[in-house]
Structure 1
Amino acid sequence: MEFGTIGAGTIGQGIAGHLVAAGHRVVLSNSRGPASLADVVARLGPLATAGTVAEAAAADMVFLAVRWQDIPEALAGVSTWDGRILVDTSNQITGLAQADYVDLGSDTGSELVARHAPGARVVKAFNTLFARYITPDPRHAEGRQLLFYAGDDEGAKSDFRAVADGIGFAPVDVGSLREGGRLMQVGGGPLSALHALKQD
C-alpha cells in the first residue's frame, strides 16, 4: 500500500515515521505546501516525500492529522476518494479547555469527517492517544501500545488493523463510527486518553 498524510504536525510526522521505519513510502502534505516540509522529509529519509494535499490523498491509505477546525478546508481540495481509506486522527475540540469541546449532538466526529470526504472509507484511530505515546516505538518490554480503532467498512478496518499491527501497535476494534466513535471521543468517551499496553 501507499500512504499519505494530510497534516504534518507531531501526529502526522509520528505516524509517517512508523510507516517509513516499516519500509513503506509516505507522501506528507500540509496547508503551507511541499517546500515547507523539506526538513521533515529529509529527517524521515528517502521513503518519505512532500507533496500537495491532492497528491497525499491519492494514496491507498491517508491519515488526516489536522486541527478540528481545519478539517473542512483540509479536505475541500480532494475531489474524489473512490473508496480509498481515510484514517481520522482528530478530536472534536478546538482548544485545551473543557469549553472548547464541540458538541455534535448524536453524531460523532468521524461521521462528520466522512461527510466532508464522500466516497472515502473512514476509520477512526490514534485520537485516544496523547501525541507523546504515538511518536515513540509502540513496542515496549512490558508489551505493545494499545490502539483503538472504529469504522463502518470491515475491509477498511481489516487493512488498517494489518498496518497498525505491522508498525508495532496492538490494534483493538471497538465497533462502528457511531458506537465505537462515542467510546473514543473526548468529552466522556471511556477510551479517550486511555494509555495501556498489551502483553504478547
Structure 2
Amino acid sequence: MDYKIGIIGSGNIGRGLALHLSKTHYEVLLANTRGPESLEGLVSSIGGSLKAGELRETIQRSDIIFIAAPWISLENLAKEFVGYEGKIIVDATNNIVSVSPFRLADVNNKSTGEFVSALFPAQKVVKAFNTLAAATLAQPTQSTAGKTVIVISGNDTEAKNQVSIITEAMGFAPIDIGNFKEAGKLQDVGGALSGVELIKVK
C-alpha cells in the first residue's frame, strides 16, 4: 500500500524518524507547532522524500502519523485530530516531563500506550520507536548479523501490521510484543526494553 506518512515533532526523535522515513518510497510530511518555515533547514539537510507541512495539513493528508512531540503537548495535539477518525498513530513518546530533575508524568498505572490511546479514541494507536535513545535511533548499529529491533505494541492487529511494513522499509526489524495492557509497560521508561538496542539475527 502506498501510504502517505506524517511526522509531528521535530526534536531529536522526530529528526531520527525523518532521517529514515525520507529514504523510503513513501511521501513524508514533517510538521511542528511553529510552522513549515521553521523546518526548511532541517528538511533541506535531510532531503529524500521529506517535505515540510502545516500541522493540520499533515494530519489531514497522512494515513499514518508518527507522534514525536513532547509529552506535555499531547492533550492539545489530540484536539487537532478531531474529525480525522481512523488514522493510524505511531506513538513514539515517553512520559518524561522534566530531565533535571528527572520526572515522569503520572499515567495512572497504565502503560503510556494505553494512556495515549485514551487521548486519541477515534484513531488507531500503535506504540513504537520510543525505546531507543535518540542517537541510536538516528544511527543504529550496523551489523552483518541483522537489523536493529523496533518493538511494537497495540490493541489493533491490522494497524500494527501496517506499521511493521513501514518499519521494515525504514531498515529496522519490527517485533510485535502484544497489546498495551499485557506488554506495553515493557517499552516504557524503566521497562525491560527501555534504552536497549536489540539486533534481530538473520
| TM-score, length basis structure 1 | 0.92
> Would you say 1:110 and 2:122 are equivalent positions?
no
Q: 1:107 to 1:137 in 2, by over 3 A?
A: closer
Q: Give distance in 1, aligned partners of 2:56 and 2:78.
A: 9
Once the two structures are superposed, the pairs formed by residues 118-157 of structure 1 within 5 Å of their partners are: 118-136=121-139, 139-157=142-160
Identify the structure with the greater strand proportion: 2
Calculate percent identity across the aligned residue pairs.
33
Q: Give distance in 1, aligned partners of 2:100 and 2:182.
A: 25
* One-letter amino acid matched to 1:93: I
35-44 or 110-119: bigger deviation: 110-119
71-80 or 2-11: bigger deviation: 71-80
Q: Which position in structure 1 is the counterpart of 2:32?
A: 30
Check whether the contact 1:170–1:198 (CA below 8 A) recurs between aligned residues.
Answer: yes
190-199 or 99-108: bigger deviation: 99-108
Per-residue CA deviations over 1:140-191 (Å, capped at 9, x if unaligned) read 323211110101001000001111112111111111122221111113x111
Q: Give distance in 1, aligned partners of 2:146 and 2:101.
A: 32
Check whether the contact 1:53–1:78 (CA below 8 A) recurs between aligned residues.
Answer: no
Check whether the contact 2:9–2:67 (CA below 8 A) recurs between aligned residues.
Answer: yes
Q: Which position in structure 2 is the counterpart of 1:21?
A: 23
Q: Give distance in 1, aligned partners of 2:180 and 2:54.
A: 28
Secondary structure of the 2:98 match is coil
Secondary structure of the 2:110 match is coil
Q: Give distance in 2, aligned partners of 1:31 and 1:78.
A: 14
Secondary structure of the 1:127 match is coil
User: Structure 2 regions of 5+ residues with no counterpart?
Assistant: none
> Would you say 1:48 and 2:59 are equivalent positions?
no
Cα RMSD for the two superposed structures: 1.7
Secondary structure of the 1:172 match is strand
Once the two structures are superposed, the pairs formed by residues 52-131 of structure 1 within 5 Å of their partners are: 52-58=54-60, 59-96=62-99, 100-131=103-134
* One-letter amino acid matched to 1:47: S
- Aligned length, in residue pairs: 199
How far the C-alpha of 1:99 sits from its partner, in A, is 5.0
How far the C-alpha of 1:138 sits from its partner, in A, is 5.9
Q: Give distance in 1, aligned partners of 2:25 and 2:102.
A: 41
Per-residue CA deviations over 1:69-101 (Å, capped at 9, x if unaligned) read 121122322223321110000111212367502
User: Structure 1 regions of 5+ residues with no counterpart?
Assistant: none
45-54 or 156-165: bigger deviation: 45-54
